[in-house]
Structure 1
Amino acid sequence: MGKVSLEGIEFHAYHGAFPEEEILGNRFTLDLELTTDFFKAMSEDLLQETVDYGKLYALIKARMDVRVKLLERLGYLIIKDILSAYPQTESVTLTLKKHHPALGGLVKFSAVTVKYPEDFQKDS
């Protein structure tokens, strides 16, 4: 098993529970690490035998364009998309940060970390 990571992916998106977040949007940063078997990619130098970073970024970007209220929901949906595209994935850890959330004071970011399979045990 090996690990594939994308770190510091940034988006401007419109996620949040408050009406102004739907209008103004916010900056989000995402860190992602997944575990998969990429032995064949290592030994044979074949992109199709590993996780394609470009495809991974594109599916995350597509999901970021679909508004949801909660970071927890967004993290869950991104991981579901990854598992659909790469069913050989053994585990995923995703941390999603919302910069300067509307909390009435100075907060650098709010964040959630969602993990597969741990957080998906009740998923049916």
Structure 2
Amino acid sequence: MGLIKLKNIKVYAYHGCLVEEKKIGSDYRVDLRVKADLSKSALSDVLAETVDYVHLNRIVKEEMAIRSKLLEHAAERILVRILDEIPLVDKAVVDVSKINPPIGGNVEMVTITKSKIR
């Protein structure tokens, strides 16, 4: 078993329930961890036999570009696509963070974490 991590994927998106969030947008951070059997690729050194982190990054960026009211919804879409498109992945965990959320206080970020197991 192995673990692949993508840390601090930065995206600009338009998630949120407020009208301003829909128009102005905000900065987001996505962190992703996937568990998979990496033993075959560790021996073969063949990209097709592992989890391609370029593919993971593309899924995150494409799903974050689709507007959602809730971060949970965006996270769920990311997880579903990973398990649908990458059969080698056994488990995926995603953290979606909104930087400087408009919640009436000095808060660096708000983060939701979701996971899915095959």
- In the superposition, the TM-score normalised over structure 2's length comes to 0.95
What is the identity, as a one-letter code, of the residue corresponding to 1:65?
Answer: A
Alignment-derived partner of residue 27 in structure 1: 27
**Alpha-carbon offset, residue 55 of structure 1:** 1.4
Aligned-partner Cα distance in 2 for 1:103–1:7? 25
What is the identity, as a one-letter code, of the residue corresponding to 1:96?
Answer: V
1:35 aligned counterpart, secondary structure: strand
- Equivalent pairs counted in the alignment come to 118
Indicate if the aligned counterparts of 2:33 and 2:92 stay in contact, CA closer than 8 A.
yes
1:10 aligns with 2:6: no
Percent identical = 34
1:58 aligns with 2:95: no
**Alpha-carbon offset, residue 88 of structure 1:** 2.5
Greater per-residue strand proportion: 2
Deviations 1:51-103 (A, max 9, x none): 11111111111111100010111111100011111123111111111011111
Aligned-partner Cα distance in 2 for 1:89–1:52? 11
Moved over 2 A (4+): none
- In the superposition, the TM-score normalised over structure 1's length comes to 0.91
